[in-house]
Structure 1
Amino acid sequence: MSATAVTSLFWILLISVLGPLIAGLIPGNRVPEVVILLAGGILIGPHTLDLATDGSAIDLLRELGLGMLFLLAGYEIQTSEVVGKEGRRALYTWIFCLALAFAVTFGIGLTSLVTAESAVAIAMCSTALGTLLPILRDSGLLNQRLGLTVLNHGAFGELGPVIAMAVLLSARGSLMSAIVLVLFAIAAVAVWLLTEKFFGRQRWLTALIAAGSHTTAQTTVRITMLLLIGLMALAYEFELDTILGAFAAGFILRRILPDGDEIFEHKLDGIAFGLLIPIFFITSGMAIDIPAVAAKPELLVTFVLMILVVRGVPVFISTRWDRGNTGDDPPFTIRERSQIALYSATGLPIIVAVTGVAVASGTMSEGNASVLVTAGALTVLLLPLAATIVGSRGKPAGPDTPIT
């Protein structure tokens, strides 16, 4: 590792330490830590103080952070919810969001305000499920019906754009990209089945892994990292975005541990939120060109409004008919539907990934990419905060009749 990389890593880790401390000093913890990490990245990045720069070593840690973010998102997905009635509703809602995003984006593109319309449309209908997980967890919503509904919309808001990226933004053409995507899915399923059958039959190996999980060997963590890197590498070989492999790794991990494992999950959280995921958000902030954003305020406002219209409004409308998978649950109140819509319109990691692909292909300028990433950062700052305020004001002092 070069001296420049070491110096850059020092500043990045300093911001990662200061982030939660600053967030804790803000009354009510109203500002998500990720926003402070992004702001810190902007501050130390090449476009401001120029204290830290990207490089091969930093880029590798950044990719691992993004991978861990999507692994944890895939791990939180409950199959029973996703394939249930409300999960299907979330899928249909996302498909409508994508169609609406293309209509709006290409319509605005006629004014020349927006370029790289396909990339922008895909970014508009994403949901930052990995970013929302700690917010939902800290607020106690993760295991409640509202939180599960956010997970449903978030699952398709992350997986859907990744698939759309693979099919619509690939240089191979849509048909060939779809075939490659199917082949990757078959390979991922094969990895899952082989892993399950192998460990199921080799009880001595299972016992050995379990015994080593509480020693310095940390076997379960090492196997998880192997699964993550292996599927990311597999996605790379298929010329797909590596986050698809990371999401598949989390999904497979949940199938292996359907009931979860609290000790193991604490270890994963330590690696993910203690080191890798903060590096991803800080380096994402470092890539934001503030002068370029300041030069196009109208584009920034347009992007934020597009995200709300394309993603938030359809989710708000679709939850009007949400009665749970059994059909026996009471309807969501208007406040609850507003919360779900605001959470679902929160986007950033997919936006970062999509803009990276678009810039690399030459269809989007780095300036416009910075504006779009900044718009995603603003959704992370404003929308969960707005959802929290809406939810806190809607808490009844006693029994209340749902408003629909």
Structure 2
Amino acid sequence: MQGLSTSLVLIAFLAIAAPLAARFLDRVVKVPIVVFELILGILLGPSVLGWIKSTDFTDTLADFGLAMLFFVAGNEIDFALIRGRPAARATAGWAVSLAAGIGAGFLLASTPAAATIIGVALCSTALGALLPILRDAGESRSPLGVAVTALGAAGEFGPLIAISLFFSGRQPGPAAGVLLGFVALTGLAVFLASRARHTLLHSQVTRTLHTSGQFAVRSIMFILTVLVVLSMVLGLDMLLGAFAAGVLWKVAMAKAPKPERELIEAKVDAVAFGFLVPVFFIDTGIDYELHALTATPAALALVPLFLVLLLVLRGGPSLLAAPPRAPAPMKRAIMLFGATGLPIIVAVTSIGRDQDLISSGVASALVGAGMLSVLVFPLLALRQYQRGGKAPAAPEERGARGQVLGP
């Protein structure tokens, strides 16, 4: 009990230390807060100082944080904004990345299962980590933001599908059937939600926005829990349910007044990025097996190799989603943003370690490369974009944006 209490206090301390550290360095270099959360978790965890130990309780909170991160990603995707060319080309780019990643995995791993884990990790894009960066930079709805959102949607939803197909414990045929059943059920729920007016839901949400009832937040937690549990019962990855829950909630609230939607989104951000998501990233740092990475030069050398593979195998195909006539700096920014991955890497390597499909050294190297990608790639991407990547949207994109944003 004493160890749990100490860990909880220190995790809460690191959660406030991370944004303070980011602000301290803000004038010199803009570093995403998640990087500090990971580094501080490693520093105070068993790998270095040993002041914090992972417990079942903190691991459960971290799982909720990861689920909340994917809920926010599903909730923030504007499908009307990315439909058509951006979504189609981003999906094609992801398929190329998956094939190339698995191919690279066969060169680095001894079994097909290990190669698939490496391939799925290398084809991911950390949309949940990129959306706050784009929002803070004021680029969420710019041509760059549209391209990155499409890439992130494909780079998070696609790997979740692959995880559910390849690592559910079922044969591919039955696994595909279960997955299709879940997608069909979720699609039906989204369709019905889009057709309904939700007058009762919206009125109850409005009445409790400033009271202890907080019906909106409670409804979100209910939908999130139901779909996460359903996905787990079906043997699918829980993050698939979390992502679907975000999409379902967005559709259900689409017809609510804009001020209310924005207030609810602020509440969701407070729960997610003020509490649960930091616990996930800090706990990831605590659980990081640094000794497995430094035990052999070969394991350590995998980190820069995987980082380069992320840039080449994921960043390269991401260029398919670049807007027409995009300037070279914008294309480089899109490539760097597309190569930024971490949550899916953590999830798939955890599955690999739990099933003894990959070694601790390979898992730590993949997560280490993911951490470096979050640290380096978004920073370089924003610098590239600000140096000359901004360009007027193409005519067809201006029309699409006009339909969403108005004239």
TM-score, length of structure 1 as denominator length:
0.90
Query: What's the CA shift for 1:186?
Result: 2.3
- What 5-or-longer segments of structure 1 have no aligned partner? 324-330, 400-404
Q: How does 1:233-382 map to 2 (within 5 A)?
A: 233-258=229-254, 261-294=261-294, 295=296, 296-316=299-319, 318-319=320-321, 322-323=323-324, 331-382=325-376
Among candidates 106, 120, 123, match of residue 121 of structure 2? 123
Give the letter aligned to residue 326 of structure 2: F
Deviations 1:215-238 (A, max 9, x none): 111110110111111111111111
Query: What's the CA shift for 1:190?
Result: 4.0
Deviations 1:107-156 (A, max 9, x none): 3337x9x9811100000010000001111111111111111110001100
Query: What's the CA shift for 1:80?
Result: 1.9
Q: 1:115 to 1:375 in 2, by over 3 A?
A: farther
| In 2: Cα distance, 1:71 partner to 1:49 partner | 33
Q: Identity, % of aligned pairs?
A: 36
Matched position secondary structure for 2:264: helix
Correspondence 1:77 to 2:77: yes
Q: Residues 15 and 37 of structure 1 are in contact (CA less than 8 Å); yes or no, is this contact kept in structure 2?
A: yes
Deviations 1:179-238 (A, max 9, x none): 1111111232344456567773xx455423320122111110110111111111111111
Matched position secondary structure for 2:210: coil
Give the letter aligned to residue 117 of structure 1: A
| In 2: Cα distance, 1:310 partner to 1:375 partner | 14
Matched position secondary structure for 2:331: helix
Give the letter aligned to residue 171 of structure 1: G
| In 1: Cα distance, 2:278 partner to 2:81 partner | 29
Matched position secondary structure for 1:116: helix
Aligned twin of 1:22: 21
Aligned twin of 2:178: 180
Aligned twin of 1:5: 4
Correspondence 1:225 to 2:228: no
Q: 1:205 to 1:133 in 2, by over 3 A?
A: closer
Q: Residues 146 and 336 of structure 1 are in contact (CA less than 8 Å); yes or no, is this contact kept in structure 2?
A: yes
| In 1: Cα distance, 2:232 partner to 2:100 partner | 30
Query: What's the CA shift for 1:177?
Result: 0.9
Q: 1:395 to 1:375 in 2, by over 3 A?
A: closer
Query: What's the CA shift for 1:99?
Result: 1.0
Aligned twin of 1:154: 152
Q: Residues 329 and 389 of structure 2 are in contact (CA less than 8 Å); yes or no, is this contact kept in structure 1?
A: no
| In 1: Cα distance, 2:193 partner to 2:254 partner | 14
Q: Residues 68 and 277 of structure 1 are in contact (CA less than 8 Å); yes or no, is this contact kept in structure 2?
A: yes
Among candidates 187, 206, 213, match of residue 209 of structure 2? 213
Aligned twin of 2:401: none
Give the letter aligned to residue 344 of structure 1: G
Q: Residues 166 and 241 of structure 1 are in contact (CA less than 8 Å); yes or no, is this contact kept in structure 2?
A: yes
More off after superposition, 289-298 vs 267-276:
289-298
| In 1: Cα distance, 2:346 partner to 2:72 partner | 18
| In 1: Cα distance, 2:192 partner to 2:81 partner | 25
Query: What's the CA shift for 1:342?
Result: 0.3
| In 1: Cα distance, 2:205 partner to 2:4 partner | 35
Q: Residues 74 and 249 of structure 1 are in contact (CA less than 8 Å); yes or no, is this contact kept in structure 2?
A: yes
Q: 1:198 to 1:257 in 2, by over 3 A?
A: closer
Aligned twin of 1:328: none
| In 1: Cα distance, 2:233 partner to 2:94 partner | 28
Q: Residues 168 and 237 of structure 2 are in contact (CA less than 8 Å); yes or no, is this contact kept in structure 1?
A: no
Q: Residues 330 and 389 of structure 2 are in contact (CA less than 8 Å); yes or no, is this contact kept in structure 1?
A: no
Q: 1:205 to 1:243 in 2, by over 3 A?
A: closer
| In 1: Cα distance, 2:133 partner to 2:251 partner | 24
Q: 1:51 to 1:311 in 2, by over 3 A?
A: same
Q: Residues 41 and 286 of structure 1 are in contact (CA less than 8 Å); yes or no, is this contact kept in structure 2?
A: yes
| In 1: Cα distance, 2:210 partner to 2:229 partner | 28
Matched position secondary structure for 1:30: coil
Among candidates 123, 134, 137, match of residue 136 of structure 1? 134
More off after superposition, 179-188 vs 88-97:
179-188
| In 1: Cα distance, 2:247 partner to 2:388 partner | 34
Q: How does 1:83-94 map to 2 (within 5 A)?
A: 83-94=83-94
Query: What's the CA shift for 1:277?
Result: 0.4
CA RMSD, Structure 1 to Structure 2 (Å): 2.1
| In 2: Cα distance, 1:280 partner to 1:204 partner | 34
| In 2: Cα distance, 1:194 partner to 1:247 partner | 18
Q: 1:18 to 1:238 in 2, by over 3 A?
A: same
Give the letter aligned to residue 355 of structure 1: T
Deviations 1:256-296 (A, max 9, x none): 12366111111111111101000000011112122222232
- What 5-or-longer segments of structure 2 have no aligned partner? 393-407
Q: Residues 319 and 332 of structure 1 are in contact (CA less than 8 Å); yes or no, is this contact kept in structure 2?
A: no
Q: Residues 119 and 358 of structure 1 are in contact (CA less than 8 Å); yes or no, is this contact kept in structure 2?
A: yes
Aligned twin of 2:402: none
Give the letter aligned to residue 312 of structure 1: G
Deviations 1:321-372 (A, max 9, x none): x33xxxxxxx111100110110010000000000011111111122321111
